[in-house]
Each structure stands twice: as structure tokens, then as C-alpha cells.
């Protein structure tokens, strides 16, 4: 079975990769991804300075999902800029995820990372903006201004990681902005924010930061992820490749993302829980699904979802 795919002119040996944030912070974790069956090495979303992140416990897995409030632990952009050329020895695409706490952060980081020549740069619009303000991806004006500035300093194929949108009007407005800026791929979606999980026995929250509030991932967010993948695939007429993220725990889940319009998928919660063996398992399961459906490749079913 052919699992290869192409995103913004870059060929990926497999349509499965890690999501930025899952086991991809340190040199060791990134090298482990390089040795794995993952189709790419996706870095942690990087900030100006190294960050320890939020106090623990900050991640908790439960039936059908996970909740986290990691606080962007990462090595700082200078470390990743130095690491990216070294990771080339693994012979697979490198996706650098860029974050920040203000517009200048994004421009500074993107400039340096662009010079280190990753294969793709993913601008994470699901990061905090400023205290009391929404995530960048929920502020249309800030999003457009920020992306136009970053676009000027980036020659590497550039895409965006989007938060989940819950209204078609917001998806339509964001698509117009992204079209004007000229992004070359989308990563859809980041975790569903502001969730709360309660431990019935302990009568408490399950993570420490922010009073227990955090981002939800895993199978329970799959319907929202699929909805956003499908909406943006239709809004762009299939001409902008989409990396689907959210709820991929089986080959069938990946197949659903592909049907909705994703050219590749990123795995978060399942990767955290299983480690790199998850990529081989998912490929095997997807091969069975594709074979039963009569497809000879992962790319053959992209966007083929039937509507009633």
C-alpha cells in the first residue's frame, strides 16, 4: 500500500506524523521520531526563550480522550534552529512549529528558523496572544497582520495550525484571510480549549494549571476535527493541502480524515500513550481499510467523502 503524500511540494514517505506538542521537545525525542516510521519530524511549537512549561500534573488521559495544559515547554528557537540541520540525516521532512506571545516573537523566530531550512514552517495560531485576549486564531485582524509580517521573512513553504472553529462564518472569514496571505498548507485542528475533567473519586480536577482547565484531545474531539478539515477543504476547493489532527486512534480514524480532505494526519494523544509504535500500527490498520475499500494509496481517497 502506498502511504506517501505531498504537501506544498514536499514529499512525505508516510501520511502519518506526530502533532506538534507530543513527544517532540528534546533532541532525544526528535531523534526518536527520526528513527521511527513517522513520515516527518514535527518540532514542538517553539518560543523565544526556553520554557519549562506549567506545573505538573499537566496532562491526563481518560476514556476517549486527554486533557492538557502544558504551557509550551520547549528548548527555545535557537536550539531548534541548530538542531534542524542535524535532523536531516534521518531523510524525512522536518516541520518546524513556530509560536510566540506577540507579533515580534513570531517574526524573530520565523526569520531564524527559515534560515535553518526546515521543509515546512507551521505558524501556530492556537497559542496565547496576550492576557485577557483570545487565541490569535480567534482574532481575524491580528491573524492577518501577523501572517503578512511572517510571510515577508519566510521563503520555506509556510502553513498555519488553526484552533477549532465552531461556526461556518468564522471558517469562511479565516479562509479568506489565509487566501490573501498565501499560506501553502493548513494543520487542522489544535486541541479544543477550555475543557474540564473531574475525578469523581477524588472530587477534584485532574491537572494542576489554570484550576484544572485545559485543551482536550483524543477520540472525543474527532467530530470537530473532521468538521474543520472538511469545511476548509471545501472552502479552498481542495487546492490547499490539509494536515488533519484530532482524534486519530485507529486506521479508520485516519481514513475518515483523508475522506474529509486531509492529505496527511498528525497524531497526538495516541502517540503520547503508545510511543512511536503507534505509527506502524496506524499504517497497518489503514492498509486494511484502504484494501477493503478498493483504494491502492492513501492519496486516492482524499476528499472523496459522499454527501447525502
* 301 is an active site residue: no
> Contact at 8 Å (CB) between 84 and 113?
yes
Catalytic residue among 15, 127, 260, 301: 127
Instruction: Give CA–CA dist 158/76, Å, rounded.
Output: 20
Cell 517532540 belongs to: 24
Active-site positions read 127
Amino acid at each position: 500500500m502506498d502511504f506517501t503524500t505531498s504537501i506544498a511540494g514536499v514529499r512525505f514517505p508516510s501520511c502519518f506524523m506526530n502533532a506538534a506538542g507530543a513527544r517532540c521537545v528534546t533532541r532525544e525525542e526528535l531523534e526518536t521520531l527520526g528513527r521511527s516510521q513517522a513520515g516527518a519530524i514535527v518540532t514542538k511549537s517553539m518560543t523565544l526563550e526556553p520554557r519549562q512549561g506549567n506545573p505538573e500534573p499537566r496532562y491526563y488521559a481518560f476514556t476517549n480522550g486527554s486533557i492538557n495544559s502544558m504551557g509550551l515547554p520547549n528548548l527555545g528557537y535557537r536550539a531548534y534552529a541548530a538542531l534542524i540541520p542535524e535532523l536531516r540525516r534521518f531523510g524525512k521532512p522536518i516541520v518546524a512549529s513556530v509560536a510566540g506571545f506577540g507579533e515580534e516573537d513570531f517574526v524573530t523566530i520565523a526569520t531564524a528558523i527559515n534560515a535553518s531550512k526546515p521543509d515546512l514552517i507551521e505558524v501556530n495560531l492556537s497559542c496565547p496572544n496576550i492576557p485577557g485576549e483570545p487565541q490569535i486564531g480567534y482574532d481575524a485582524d491580528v491573524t492577518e497582520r501577523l501572517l503578512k509580517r511572517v510571510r515577508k521573512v519566510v521563503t520555506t513553504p509556510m502553513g498555519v495550525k488553526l484552533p477549532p472553529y465552531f461556526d461556518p462564518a468564522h471558517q469562511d472569514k479565516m479562509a479568506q484571510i489565509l487566501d490573501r496571505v498565501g499560506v501553502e498548507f493548513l494543520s487542522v485542528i489544535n486541541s479544543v480549549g477550555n475543557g474540564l475533567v473531574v475525578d469523581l473519586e477524588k472530587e477534584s480536577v485532574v491537572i494542576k494549571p489554570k484550576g484544572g482547565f485545559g485543551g482536550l484531545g483524543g477520540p472525543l474531539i474527532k467530530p470537530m476535527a473532521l468538521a474543520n478539515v472538511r469545511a476548509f477543504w471545501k472552502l479552498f476547493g481542495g487546492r490547499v493541502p490539509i494536515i488533519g489532527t484530532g482524534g486519530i486512534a485507529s486506521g479508520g480514524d485516519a481514513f475518515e480524515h483523508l475522506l474529509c480532505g486531509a492529505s496527511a494526519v498528525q497524531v497526538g494523544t495516541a502517540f503520547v500513550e503508545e510511543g512511536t509504535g503507534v505509527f506502524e500500527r496506524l499504517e497497518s490498520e489503514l492498509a486494511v481499510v484502504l484494501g477493503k475499500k478498493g483504494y491502492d494509496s492513501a492519496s486516492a481517497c482524499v476528499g472523496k467523502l459522499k454527501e447525502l
